């Protein structure tokens, strides 16, 4: 019997080998997925919810209230979309153009600068399939995929046999963790865990570059030079190396220059690639789609056919400076992820929340529209963390509208 595989949208790995058992449009069993994926695939809801001022309404009322808020706003913001399909993201970009909105996503305070460097081809990257098939030296820097992307090590980066790595992790791969704490991933890396102090990444990078060219590596926090030289020697011997970069590294750096320098030094001696560990299942898609439209991956403002870009148009600055007077938040929960001192300003403007889940943001919104979960209840396409396009069909039927449908309806109602 032919098996019917589904795609999990629980993280940016977009695992496409998920089997489910469902009864009466409810998923009871999930096979192959990790613990995050199982919870995600089982999260389908009974009834669609539409609210205005925290009171239940029908879909049409919620749509017309959302459209009225955006129509009356002089400077609306659209934020989120990392957990939306490519189709919904493109619709949101059209909506932002139509209403002269500021448009941003979480990448403006996460890995956006690195993603932009990759999309602009300033840094060498590769695919996860290349990693599985070829990688011999794998670095996890400021990231803990065992927690955030649980099948990363087993499916791609460390444990699997690859076409050119038949003897696998036991003999042919070296996994290295560089982090401020001994994470689950760092424990798997054993002796190849390099613990550095908070904000110590730039210095460690420069010490490593010194080590690569045979100089004595020095840091102000006296990291043992011998250990850095040992690491440099492993990296020099890499036939196919990859650095998976997490927020821990990006938050620690003032800019990407140390990383550019390291990649240059590594590629003079070996063959290294870099991949950002984006979290949401389609952050990469949002960054690519916005880049294709504007030349920027986040923090833009549309203004009568022109595009403005810069930190002023990031959610953090826009809320700090109170420059936006309404917000449409799609599949994101700024009330949970931003500091209270900033996010409290959202309470002063009308907020529309479009989200498959009840969140702090949905509870603090003037309009809440509960949408289908992509991959579980709605189909579409998304871009995996390495840029691979993945299409999916819904695993179960639902009466919940997709965020793409809702965004289109709002646009029509304007």
Footprint of ligand SF4 (CB under 6 A): 8, 10-11, 13-15, 33-34, 36-37, 149-151
Nearer to ligand SF4, 51 or 151 (CB): 151
Question: ∠ at Cα 230 (228, 236), nearest 5°?
Answer: 100
Question: ∠ at Cα 161 (159, 165), nearest 5°?
Answer: 110
Q: How far is the CB of 10 from ligand SF4 (least distance, A)?
A: 3
Q: How far is the CB of 147 from ligand SF4 (least distance, A)?
A: 11
Q: How many CB atoms lie within 10 A of CB 379?
A: 17
Q: How far is the CB of 278 from ligand SF4 (least distance, A)?
A: 12
Tokens, residue 61:
């009322």
Q: Nearest Cα to 147, choosing from 33, 29, 274, 35? A: 35
Nearer to ligand SF4, 8 or 319 (CB): 8
Q: How far is the CB of 376 from ligand SF4 (least distance, A)?
A: 11
Nearer to ligand SF4, 22 or 49 (CB): 22
Question: ∠ at Cα 275 (273, 276), nearest 5°?
Answer: 150
Nearer to ligand SF4, 76 or 375 (CB): 375
Q: How far is the CB of 380 from ligand SF4 (least distance, A)?
A: 15
Nearer to ligand SF4, 150 or 200 (CB): 150
Nearer to ligand SF4, 37 or 217 (CB): 37
Measured CA to CA, the distance from residue 210 to residue 207 in angstroms comes to 5
Q: How far is the CB of 375 from ligand SF4 (least distance, A)?
A: 9
Q: How far is the CB of 356 from ligand SF4 (least distance, A)?
A: 15
Nearer to ligand SF4, 142 or 150 (CB): 150
Q: How far is the CB of 33 from ligand SF4 (least distance, A)?
A: 4
CB-based contacts of 181, cutoff 8 Å, min separation 6: 195
Nearer to ligand SF4, 151 or 301 (CB): 151
């Amino acid at each position: 019997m032919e098996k019917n595989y589904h795609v999990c949208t629980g993280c940016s790995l977009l695992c496409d080998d998920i089997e489910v058992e469902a009864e009466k449009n409810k998923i009871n069993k999930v096979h192959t997925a990790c613990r995050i994926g199982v919870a995600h695939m089982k999260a389908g809801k009974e009834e669609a919810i539409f609210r205005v001022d925290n009171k239940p309404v029908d879909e049409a009322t919620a749509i017309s209230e959302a459209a009225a808020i955006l129509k009356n706003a002089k400077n609306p913001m659209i934020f989120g979309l990392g957990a939306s399909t490519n189709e919904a993201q493109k619709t949101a970009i059209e909506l932002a153009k139509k209403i002269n909105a500021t448009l941003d996503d979480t990448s403006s305070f996460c890995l956006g600068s690195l993603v932009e460097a990759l999309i602009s081809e300033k840094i060498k990257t590769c695919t996860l399939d290349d990693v599985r098939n070829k990688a011999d030296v794998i670095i996890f820097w400021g990231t803990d995929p065992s927690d955030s992307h649980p099948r990363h090590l087993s499916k791609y980066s460390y444990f699997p046999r690859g076409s050119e790595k038949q003897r696998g992790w036991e003999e042919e791969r070296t996994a290295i963790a560089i982090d401020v704490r001994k994470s689950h991933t760092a424990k798997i890396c054993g002796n190849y865990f390099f613990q550095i102090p908070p904000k110590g990444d730039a210095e460690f990078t420069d010490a490593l570059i010194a080590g690569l060219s045979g100089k004595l590596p020095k840091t102000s926090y006296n990291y043992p030079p011998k250990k850095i030289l040992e690491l440099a020697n492993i990296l020099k011997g890499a036939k196919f190396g990859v650095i998976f970069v997490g927020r821990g590294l990006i938050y620690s750096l003032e800019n990407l220059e140390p990383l550019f320098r390291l990649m240059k030094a590594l590629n003079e001696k070996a063959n290294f690639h870099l991949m950002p560990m984006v979290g949401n299942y389609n952050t990469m898609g949002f960054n690519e789609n916005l880049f294709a439209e504007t030349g920027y991956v986040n923090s833009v403002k549309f203004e009568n056919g022109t595009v403005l870009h810069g930190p002023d148009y990031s959610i953090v600055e826009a809320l700090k400076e109170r420059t936006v007077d309404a917000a449409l938040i799609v599949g994101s929960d700024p009330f949970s992820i931003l500091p209270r001192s900033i996010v409290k300003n959202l309470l002063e403007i009308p907020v529309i929340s479009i989200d498959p889940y009840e969140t702090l943001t949905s509870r603090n919104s003037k309009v809440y529209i509960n949408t289908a979960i992509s991959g579980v209840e709605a189909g579409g396409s998304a871009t995996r963390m390495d840029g691979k396009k993945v299409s999916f069909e819904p695993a179960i039927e639902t009466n919940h509208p997709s965020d793409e449908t809702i965004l289109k309806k709002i646009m029509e109602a304007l």
